[in-house]
Structure 1
Amino acid sequence: MDKPEKGNPADVQMSDPGKKSGKQPVTACLICAAFFGALGSSFIYGYNLSVVNAPALYIKAFYNKTWTERYGQPIAAETTTLLWSITVSIFAIGGLLGALCVPIIIKVLGRKGTLLLNNIFAIIAALLLSLGETAKSFEMLIIGRLIIGVDSGIALSALPMYLGEITPRHIRGSIGQFNSILICLGVFTGQVLGLPELLGQESRWIHLFSFLAVPAVLQLCVLPFLPESPRYLLMERRDEAAAEKAFQRFLGKKDVSQELEEVHAEARAQDNLQAASVLQLLKSPAVRWQLITIIVVMACYQLCGLNAIWYYTNGILSEAGFASNIIPYITLSTGAIETLAAIISGLVIERIGRKPLLIFGFAAMAFFFSLLTVFLNIQDTVSWMPYLSYVCILAVIASFCSGPGGIPFVLTGELFEQSYRPAAFMIAGTVNWLSNFAVGLLFPFIQVS
């Protein structure tokens, strides 16, 4: 019987991070790979969580106008709510499709190649979303949201895999948090550009979607000049020369024999193993607890309700009693606090650890959500109660970004060996996007009720 997996053999064999590896400088090549990899991937995902929030009224008006021109009568309120829910939640269906495609694409193109190919989806989606109004087709908006969902589904599986494989063990958590930080930065950017003074106007809202092409083009310009994952090159392509050069650039040193030997040791341990399928992973007792951990954490990542806040911030704040003219500026503070919390989490994750940050984050969210429920129910009785509701919303967001917002993606790469990793990311992505879809589709109806 297989022994339970403890993590990557390379991780186990690494020397004490406080000694040799801990003194290795973080190279510019590694930072560039992490930043530009995340810019064209998780940044776009985060941007799409918030970008539909500011122009929601204009998009609904566009749906009504288009419907009236086609059918000669105004659209029913229930149909508007349904179309709007589909527009928001189909992003998650696209994400699920993208996550299901990842194992096949990364096997053919590698980690970096998959990220580069993925930019095509972002550019196509940007064109559909920005031209939908001109073409008088709300279907183009819905299809564009589906395609940008595919982009995000591929990105949220391929990027953590890439970052986990190019990063030394002692800073893997911190570099992995680039995923979370750029998600938060993307959310914040969507909120800033959605301000009435910028693109949050009836005549400009389509340009919010045109912006999607910018990070994709930037990644296309930079990532080709950075190395592929050395672990992928050595273990799957059997290209030791390319793997050695990749290690040298990422680690900033000439002698990478130790790192190569660690990967060789893992390869020898898995010589008789093919890349595991999803079914094989589900049946394997050796990784059962790792799999349960990933499924539970990924489901909680979405079902904790934070995406509902990102999707529908304006509606939530309006119902909390804030004046409509100040809501866009209040929304900005939510994006700022989540970005700050994600950065702090990235700085302390290696000292505090993954598990304590996850437990603290989810426990704090439960506490502040409970307070928020109480405050929303009594807000009509006290004039200053909406401000307490707002503080609770900020606290919920900060709690989420302190751990649950980024650690699930880091864990998926760390808990599985190379042969299990693609299937593990596919399962994690499936759970993530199905939960995301449920939140996006059901929340507007729950809110109305």
Structure 2
Amino acid sequence: MKLEMPAESNNNLNMDTQQQGNNNNMDQPIDPDTNQKTDISKDKGQTITTTLVIATLFGSLGSSFTHGYSITMVNSPATYVQEFYNQTWLARYGEPLDCNSITLLWSITVSIASIGSIFGTLPVAPLVKVLGSKGTLLLNNGFTLLGALFMAAAESASSYEMMIIGRFFCGIHSGLGRIPIVMLLTEISPRKLRGAVGQINGILYGVGLITAQVLGLKELLGEKHRWSFLFGFMAIPALLQLCVLPIVPESPRYLLIDKNDVVGAEKALRRYLGKEDVSQEVEELQVERRLQANIQKVSVVKLMRSQAVRWQIITVIVLNCCRTLSGMNALYFYTSPILVNAGMDDNIILHMTIGLGAAGLVASIVCGFSIDRCGRRLLLLLGFGGMAVGYALLTLFLNLQNHASWIPFFSFACIIFINIAFCLGPAAVLFIVCSELFEQTYRPPALMIGGFFGWLTNFLLGLLFPFMQKALRTYVFLVFLVICLLCTVYVYIVLPETKDKTFVEISNSFKEMNKISDSSPKKPEPDLVANGTSDHVKKTLFLRNDA
């Protein structure tokens, strides 16, 4: 039976469809050469290709996995390493170290990685500009191999200095590798899959944390005469990345916009997207390249003073600092004492700590499946908001834990809840969002700024937390509660949703906050505009003009 729609309903449907099409077109970027809107509203061919899988897995393996591994690998053999420090000192100077000196040397060993990360962040922008994201990741493996070599050989060489130097190289690796992998995954993935692909980065970070905890068991490498192999294992993912990552192409966005290699970009797009017709994607990149061709290179100082991206920069700094100051490192510190108060054996505590990491890994996997459905903004709100609720409950149970033997188990449940909330949002979604807020020219220095402030606050928190803990005791988590609440409010008020949007569209969503209006464009400085530039390009440039 054939159904016929009334004429009036049919006309209304056509008008609504036409209006919807017009609204979609209004959001499309304008090609300054043709003065025409570019139709990039839909991505065709959202195929997960072998090239995309290889680049994602092995890119993350040599950066995020290794970073996660380097964080927890020092926990299990800490007692044996400190004993090695004391024996080395005794062999050299004929007298043992006192407890305070051993603690000081171990604190330097652990915390110097944060200093290395700060140094590793500083050259990211120029390296990515010259070598590309993939090239920078390959270069970064050198620091991983140096760190693994120095730490693994420290015991044989009877040199605790080699342990400290090795940790410093590990820090450089973490600081230098965090930004290029986020950029690479953001730029090579189809728009509809950008969140899910980027979340693989966070998942492998969690796998690295758990791998170090498992290998650190006394039954494996966490034993007195095998701890050097635990540190040497870090070289394996670096070698795998060096062998496999060169077979995949560089980011198409980098090839076309930064290197003006149209042919190379087309080949890379075909391999990453798995389709022959990539004209739509090339057209999008060409539009962005022509818009940015009239902009002078942006330094870090000028970027921080730029009105065109002011709120994006503020957002990147706030999110990176809040991620660090959300208190996860302090939370891991409290896990063992809470379980000790519950009367648990050391071996059981170690296995429960592994379970804590496994819960975070599961949350990261769930985030990977949901990020392109729920959006980035919602996951960040749930993450920081959930952590605030968890800290409130944890503070309550910590102050009541001596009243009943079962209360410490509720405290541990709160820690698991906070860890899940952290992995669901701030742990990995944050880096995806920060990368999406900027177009190609601004992205490397902007992420470098965010990474610098993130590692700086991480170092300062490591120095100040012992004093905070001594002064506030069980109420120390109220500080992190306030920080998480403030970040939740900031995300709700300031951060737009970036799901399914182009980088140009995301940048344009900040125009009102940056006080940039199409009706009253700011005149670009003469040295930013090339001779003979069309009036339309000049009108467009005010969106990206440096204040």
TM-score (norm 2): 0.77
The answer for the alignment partner of 2:108 in structure 1 is 86
Q: CA deviation at 1:171?
A: 1.1
User: Structure 1 residue 207 and structure 2 residue 232: aligned?
Assistant: no
Of the structure 1 ranges 192-201 and 315-324, higher mean CA displacement relative to structure 2 is found in 315-324
Preserved contact between residue 8 and residue 414 of structure 1 (Cα < 8 Å): no
For each residue in 1:24-61, what CA deviation from the matched residue of structure 2 results, as whole angstroms up to 9, or x when unmatched?
A: 21112111111110000010111111111111111222
The answer for the alignment partner of 1:146 in structure 2 is 168
2:82, 2:245 → 1: CA distance? Answer: 38
Q: Are residues 239 and 164 of structure 1, via their aligned partners in 2, closer, same or farther at CA, if it must alter by over 3 Å?
A: same
Preserved contact between residue 40 and residue 280 of structure 2 (Cα < 8 Å): no
1:261, 1:65 → 2: CA distance? Answer: 65
Q: Are residues 323 and 447 of structure 1, via their aligned partners in 2, closer, same or farther at CA, if it must alter by over 3 Å?
A: farther
Residue from 51, 58, 62 that aligns with 1:36: 58
Preserved contact between residue 64 and residue 202 of structure 2 (Cα < 8 Å): yes
The answer for the alignment partner of 2:40 in structure 1 is 15
Q: CA deviation at 1:251?
A: 0.3
2:353, 2:421 → 1: CA distance? Answer: 17
Q: Are residues 8 and 266 of structure 1, via their aligned partners in 2, closer, same or farther at CA, if it must alter by over 3 Å?
A: farther
User: What percentage of residue pairs aligned between the two structures are identical?
Assistant: 51
Q: CA deviation at 1:373?
A: 2.3
User: Structure 1 residue 383 and structure 2 residue 405: aligned?
Assistant: yes
User: Structure 1 residue 253 and structure 2 residue 275: aligned?
Assistant: yes
For each residue in 1:254-298, what CA deviation from the matched residue of structure 2 results, as whole angstroms up to 9, or x when unmatched?
A: 111111110000011111113311111111111111111111110
User: Structure 1 residue 401 and structure 2 residue 423: aligned?
Assistant: yes
Any residues of structure 2 matched to 1:108-187 within 5 Å, and which?
Answer: 108-187=130-209
Preserved contact between residue 307 and residue 436 of structure 1 (Cα < 8 Å): no
Q: Are residues 15 and 239 of structure 1, via their aligned partners in 2, closer, same or farther at CA, if it must alter by over 3 Å?
A: closer
Which amino acid is the alignment partner of residue 246 of structure 2?
P
Preserved contact between residue 274 and residue 419 of structure 1 (Cα < 8 Å): no
Preserved contact between residue 68 and residue 206 of structure 2 (Cα < 8 Å): yes
Q: CA deviation at 1:407?
A: 1.5
Which amino acid is the alignment partner of residue 263 of structure 2?
A
User: Structure 1 residue 280 and structure 2 residue 287: aligned?
Assistant: no
The unaligned stretches of length 5 or more in structure 1 are: 1-6
Any residues of structure 2 matched to 1:354-369 within 5 Å, and which?
Answer: 354-369=376-391
TM-score (norm 1): 0.93
2:137, 2:342 → 1: CA distance? Answer: 40
Q: CA deviation at 1:13?
A: 5.6
Q: CA deviation at 1:310?
A: 4.7
2:244, 2:341 → 1: CA distance? Answer: 44
User: Structure 1 residue 99 and structure 2 residue 124: aligned?
Assistant: no
For each residue in 1:183-229, what CA deviation from the matched residue of structure 2 results, as whole angstroms up to 9, or x when unmatched?
A: 11110111111111111111111111011001001111110100100
Preserved contact between residue 46 and residue 192 of structure 2 (Cα < 8 Å): no
- Alignment size in residue pairs: 439
Preserved contact between residue 40 and residue 284 of structure 2 (Cα < 8 Å): no
User: Structure 1 residue 191 and structure 2 residue 191: aligned?
Assistant: no
The answer for the alignment partner of 2:285 in structure 1 is 263
SS in 1 for 2:217: coil
2:309, 2:342 → 1: CA distance? Answer: 45
1:75, 1:15 → 2: CA distance? Answer: 66
2:201, 2:447 → 1: CA distance? Answer: 15
Which amino acid is the alignment partner of residue 164 of structure 2?
I
Preserved contact between residue 337 and residue 394 of structure 1 (Cα < 8 Å): yes
Q: CA deviation at 1:360?
A: 1.0
Q: Are residues 61 and 145 of structure 1, via their aligned partners in 2, closer, same or farther at CA, if it must alter by over 3 Å?
A: same
The unaligned stretches of length 5 or more in structure 2 are: 1-26, 31-36, 472-547
Of the structure 1 ranges 104-113 and 393-402, higher mean CA displacement relative to structure 2 is found in 104-113
For each residue in 1:90-147, what CA deviation from the matched residue of structure 2 results, as whole angstroms up to 9, or x when unmatched?
A: 1111111111011121122111111111111111110001111111211111110110
The answer for the alignment partner of 2:79 in structure 1 is 57
The answer for the alignment partner of 1:293 in structure 2 is 315
Preserved contact between residue 49 and residue 311 of structure 1 (Cα < 8 Å): no
2:205, 2:300 → 1: CA distance? Answer: 27
Q: CA deviation at 1:348?
A: 0.5
1:245, 1:312 → 2: CA distance? Answer: 51
Preserved contact between residue 46 and residue 193 of structure 2 (Cα < 8 Å): no
User: Structure 1 residue 25 and structure 2 residue 50: aligned?
Assistant: no
For each residue in 1:155-193, what CA deviation from the matched residue of structure 2 results, as whole angstroms up to 9, or x when unmatched?
A: 101110111111111111111111111111110111111
